Amino acid sequence: MANTFAPFGFSQNRGNGSAPTYEQRVRKIASDNATAIFAGDPVTTLSTGYIAQSSPGTTQIAGIFVGCKYLSTALQRTVWSPFWPGSGATGDVEAYIVNDPNAQFVAQVGGSSSTGIVFADIGANVNFAVGTGSTVTGISGAYVNQTTVNTTATLPFRIVGLIENPPGGPGTDSTSAYNWVLVAFNNVDTKSLTGI
Amino acid sequence: MAVNLASIRDLLLPGLRGVVGKYDQIPSRWDKVFERGNSNMAVERTASMRYLGLAQLKTEGGQTAFDNNAGERFVYNQEHLEIALGYAITRKAIDDNLYKTQFQPSNLGLQQSFAQTKEIYAFNVLNTATTYNASVGGDGKALCATDHPIDGTTVANRPAVDVDLSEATLLNAMTTIPTTFKDNAGLKVFARARKLVVPNALEPVAIRLTKSELRPGTGDNDVNAILATSGGLPDGYVVSEFMTSNYAWFLLTNIPGLLYLNRVPFEMDMETDFTTDNLLVKGYERYSFGYYDWRSIWGSFPTQ
């Protein structure tokens, strides 16, 4: 059954080597950061100490954004939100990210309408695409970019498995495009020896 | 201008055989389509949640997969309407009217006006079911759409190509609803068509489809599968004069989602103005029709 392309960012699914606690770490987003960040988006540490939505590339990422809270300028109260809309906060935004170096994530493959990520790609590194997040649900539109599968050491993610069960479940057709895969951090702050 | 003597000029003299103009009203249909509730707020909000997705295969000695994506997905807003209507009638028009039984100054039909207005607002939800209403919010789609978003995919409660009501299209909808309707996590839900909603123009078709024991429109003795497929249509069909399309048709499912909320029940009041002696009569009501789950309905919108 063909997979439907409806990317949802990076969804933490399991750990590796030790039981994951699903810890979320607190970081900050500058209130004047006009770029929206959605739950499931990769984020990058800036030289200012804040985080921002990552751009696909070979720069190490800080982790996966999973929500935030901030003092809404319009509502004059604290707002909890699955996404940072890019404006509307008084003061810094308290952001929550997953940066466990052993975390593994389910994500959808995109970038090609004909080819998904296949078994032979397990072990390779891969980049992501930001896609379009939903301002209704706050869920990310990020996906794993099939066209970037490579051995490059600085790519942000490592392909560690394919999602193929239960049969007929969403994204389980690994013979066609838009399948779901399991990825781990590859170039992330908590694993990289390079500082910001 | 109040209702004055000129407005009732022939009611001032004896000899009229009759006074007509008031008719039986159309029985209410909205209560056969919408569930009913009460409200004590300006806006009622219903949150649509995402529960857990499918369980995952575990390998020996491997870790259990976790699904931590449960939580709120959509919020549907329902803001109440204020409905009001009044009229003024002069004292002379009251005093000199010889036919008060037929043309009652204190009751010119406010209740009928309000009742029909309510029908119009109710079926306006269906008449505009293909147009997204931003004030409702929800999943960002019209009530009936081919691409309601859920986690990982989209679900339709409208055919990709709108189809006329017929045995084949009705059965197709009745078999599509149970197999394609899913919750926000992607799990199939128990959804079954329960009631057909049609305009008057389609009532003959609805009768032939739902009342025939044998297969509609054929000369053979096949049973009428509509009566039993996925439980049939146990709640029959509803016809409304207030559906604006002669071709659109709907199936209501067993899943609640179309909602009437009563904020202030109908009330009527009157007073005599001190300076003019005019009688002022008014009615007031506050309610809303809306929806909070597209899984409650299937709609097709052919244009001819």
What value of ipTM does the predicted structure carry?
0.80
- Same domain, residue pair A138 and A64: no
What pTM did the predictor assign? 0.87
- Domain, as residue range, for A60: 25-98
Domain count, chain B: 1
**Token digits of residue A183:** 């990825």
A19 touches chain B (CB under 8 A): yes
Q: Establish if B68 belongs to a structural domain.
A: no
Measure Cα distances from A77 to A87, A90, A92 in Å. Answer: 15, 10, 14
Q: B304 pLDDT exceeds 90? A: no
Residues from chain A contacting residue B180 (CB–CB below 8 Å): none
Q: Establish if A20 belongs to a structural domain.
A: no
Residue B87 to residue B282: CA distance in whole angstroms:
6
Report chain B's terminal Cα–Cα distance, integer Å. Answer: 44
Residue A141 to residue A68: CA distance in whole angstroms:
17
B132 touches chain A (CB under 8 A): no
For an interface test with A, the pick among B64, B66, B154, B184 (most A C-beta atoms closer than 10 Å) comes out as: B66
A6 touches chain B (CB under 8 A): yes
For residue B214, the cross-strand partners are: B223
Q: Establish if B64 belongs to a structural domain.
A: no
- Same domain, residue pair A91 and A117: no
Q: Establish if B215 belongs to a structural domain.
A: yes
**Where does the pLDDT of residue B98 fall: very low under 50, low under 70, confident under 90, or very high at 90 and above?**
very high
- Which DSSP letter does residue A3 get? P
Q: A1 pLDDT exceeds 80? A: no
Among A48, A42, A11, CA closest to A28:
A48
Pairwise CB contact (< 8 Å): A13 & B152? no
- Same domain, residue pair A93 and A118: no
Pairwise CB contact (< 8 Å): A137 & B154? no
- Same domain, residue pair A123 and A67: no
**Where does the pLDDT of residue B172 fall: very low under 50, low under 70, confident under 90, or very high at 90 and above?**
very high
What percent of chain B has pLDDT above 90? 84
CA B260 to chain centre: 8
Q: Establish if A135 belongs to a structural domain.
A: yes
Q: Establish if A3 belongs to a structural domain.
A: no
- Same domain, residue pair A92 and A113: no
Q: Establish if B277 belongs to a structural domain.
A: yes
- Same domain, residue pair A108 and A167: yes
Q: What is the pLDDT of residue B152?
A: 85
* CA-based nearest distance A48→chain B, Å: 31
Q: Establish if A61 belongs to a structural domain.
A: yes
Concatenating the DSSP letter of every residue in chain B gives: --B-GGGGGGGSSS--S------PPPPP-GGGTSEEEE--SSEEEEEEEE---------TTPPPP-----EEEEEEEEEPEEEEEEEEE-HHHHHT-S-TTTS-TT-SSHHHHHHHHHHHHHHHHHHTTTS--TTTBTTSS-SS-S-EEETTEEE-SS-SS-----HHHHHHHHHHHHHH-B-TTS-B----EEEEEEEGGGHHHHHHHHH-SBPTT-SS--B-GGGTGGG--TT-EEEETT-S-SS-EEEEESS--EEEEEEEEEEEEEEE-TTT--EEEEEEEEEEEEES-GGGEEEE----
**Where does the pLDDT of residue A194 fall: very low under 50, low under 70, confident under 90, or very high at 90 and above?**
confident
Torsion, Cα of B217, B223, B228, B234 (10° steps): 60
- Write down which residue in A98, A126, A155 finishes a domain: A98
Beta strand B297-300 with B249-253 is: antiparallel
Q: What is the pLDDT of residue A98?
A: 95
A181 touches chain B (CB under 8 A): no
Q: Establish if A192 belongs to a structural domain.
A: no
* CA-based nearest distance A82→chain B, Å: 9
Domain CATH code at residue B202: 3.90.1690
Q: Establish if B46 belongs to a structural domain.
A: no
Tell me the pLDDT of chain B averaged across its residues. 94
- Write down which residue in A81, A98, A115 finishes a domain: A98
Residues from chain B contacting residue A131 (CB–CB below 8 Å): none
Domain count, chain A: 2
**Where does the pLDDT of residue B1 fall: very low under 50, low under 70, confident under 90, or very high at 90 and above?**
confident
From B66, B151, B154, residue closest to A8, measured CB to CB: B151
Q: B157 pLDDT exceeds 90? A: yes
Q: Establish if A81 belongs to a structural domain.
A: yes
**Where does the pLDDT of residue B220 fall: very low under 50, low under 70, confident under 90, or very high at 90 and above?**
confident
Q: Establish if B186 belongs to a structural domain.
A: yes
Beta strand B35-38 with B258-272 is: parallel
Q: What is the pLDDT of residue A62?
A: 97
- Same domain, residue pair A115 and A175: yes
More confident position, A78 or B62:
A78
Q: A53 pLDDT exceeds 90? A: yes
Rg of chain B on CA atoms, in Å: 25
Residues from chain B contacting residue A15 (CB–CB below 8 Å): 63
- At B116-130, the pLDDT tens digits run 999 999 999 999 999
- Write down which residue in A98, A117, A150 finishes a domain: A98
Q: Establish if A6 belongs to a structural domain.
A: no
Q: What is the pLDDT of residue A74?
A: 95
- Domain, as residue range, for B200: 29-40+73-300
Q: Establish if A132 belongs to a structural domain.
A: yes
Pairwise CB contact (< 8 Å): B152 & A4? yes
